[in-house]
Every structure is written in C-alpha cells, then in structure tokens.
Structure 1
Amino acid sequence: MSDMKQQDQHEALFADFARAVNIPAGQLEQWLDTERSRNVGRHKGQRESHGHAVGRRIVRLLRTPRADFTADDLIHMRRAIHHIDRQLRHRPRGDISDTDWRYALMNWGHDPQR
C-alpha cells in the first residue's frame, strides 16, 4: 500500500474515532472512577467489566500523540468505532438518561446524550 493511501486511511480512522469517542479523556477518566461505571456490564465474580477495561485503554489512546500509535492501537480504535456504532443501532425507546445502555456506551467513551 502506498504511503499516501495509508496516511489517508489513518486520517479517516482518527476522524471516525473522534466522532465515535465524544467524551474527552479527563471526563472519561472521571466517569470511569464512578461506582456506576464500574458496575455496568460487570458479572458476578468479575473484578472489572470488559467495557470498563476498554474505557481505560481509550483514555490512554486519547492521550497518546498520533506519532506514537502502534498497529495494535489502530486495531483497538477500529474495534471501539465498530462497537459504538453497533450499540447505537440498538438504542432503547424512551428516556435513556439513566440506563445501563447509556452507561455501557460511556465506558467506551461515547455519551449518546452529547
């Protein structure tokens, strides 16, 4: 693949990630420190839900300079984008303000009320 084409794909990936992850790193970190965040999606016996662990990784990605991104980071960004888009297609009816659906998305860095 040409360098120009790869650069264009990376730019598109960063733009899609910025669209999908709409909670700034500091706010996401504060959210992840809440009891509600820690409990959503956690099953009995689990120390941490998958979504909560992903949120911690997304905070790191948001704070990483583009030049320092690894191939694994880019893969994780794509996974986050696809997961957020998939979950948004399953929006529940009614007020979503205090729902596990919203809180789970917030763990992935997306607040559907923004």
Structure 2
Amino acid sequence: MATSIVDDVLWENFHTVVNMTSRELRDWLAVQGAGEETEELPDQAGPHLGHRVLEILGKRRSDLNPDDVDVMRRVVDKVASQRRDDLEPTAGDDRWRRRLMNIGHDPLKPPRD
C-alpha cells in the first residue's frame, strides 16, 4: 500500500475549500480564458494555479508529489484569508468571486456536509 505525503488535515481542508467539481472548474477556466481580442485554447485558458488544482483533483492521494502539496497549502491559505471560517455562501465583489473561482472555490456554493 502506497503512503501519502499529504496529511489528513490538509487533504480535508483542500477538499473543503475546493468546492467546485473538476468539470465545473475546467468549464469555468475555459470561459475565463475567452476574451474579445483573443481566445486561448480551452486546455490552456485561465490561471496556472487553477490548472494545478485541476491536476490535483485528477490524482489519487497516494500519487501526489511535494509540488502538489505546496499548491494545496497555497489554495487553502488563499481561501482562508478571504473567507469566513464557516464557508457559508457569501455574495461579494464580482472580481473577488472570480479570483476564488479561478482556484476552485465558489463562494456562493453552500459548504459540504
């Protein structure tokens, strides 16, 4: 049995703050990459950090590497710094919501039970 380099707390926190499914995040990043002047390739649209979150969502816990763990910590810290602890749905500035959604957190979605 392979062991994981991700502790239980980080694993749970990451999957709590990343409340968008991989499909929702992929679709969101594709929409975000579309602009009036240019349209990026769907697989390349959106910020790098969002794509890293997608990669992590597609991996088994035992397959994560130290870079993945760093990304998970960054995402958890970023969401925690911009949200209340209870993660209850919160409306806010559109740019704020877009920044959070770029890393897989929709502030209008209710927290998972």
State the Cα deviation string for residues 57-98 of structure 1 (Å, max 9, x = none): 100000011110001111110011001111225xxxx953x7
Task: Normalising by structure 1, report the TM-score.
Answer: 0.70
Q: Work out whether residues 91 and 107 of structure 2, in 8 Å CA contact, stay in contact via their aligned partners in 1.
A: no
Q: CA deviation at 1:111?
A: 0.3
Q: 1:95 to 1:14 in 2, by over 3 A?
A: closer
Alignment partner, residue 104 of structure 2: 109
RMSD between aligned alpha carbons? 2.5
Q: Give 5+ residue unaligned stretches, structure 1.
A: 1-5, 40-46
CA distance in 2, matches of 1:26, 1:10: 25
State the Cα deviation string for residues 19-65 of structure 1 (Å, max 9, x = none): 1110011110000000xx237xxxxxxx9xxx721001100000011
Alignment partner, residue 66 of structure 2: 71
Alignment partner, residue 17 of structure 1: 14
Amino acid at match of 2:79: I
Alignment partner, residue 50 of structure 2: 55
Q: How many residues align?
A: 91
Relative to its length, the structure with more helix (as a share) is 1
Alignment partner, residue 87 of structure 2: none
In the TM superposition, 1:91-110 aligns within 5 A as 95-96=91-92, 99-110=94-105
Q: Give 5+ residue unaligned stretches, structure 2.
A: 35-39, 41-45, 85-89
Task: Normalising by structure 2, report the TM-score.
Answer: 0.71
Amino acid at match of 1:11: D
CA distance in 2, matches of 1:17, 1:69: 13
Identity of aligned residues (%): 33
CA distance in 2, matches of 1:67, 1:95: 36
Amino acid at match of 1:26: R
Deviation beyond 4 Å, 4+ runs, structure 1: none
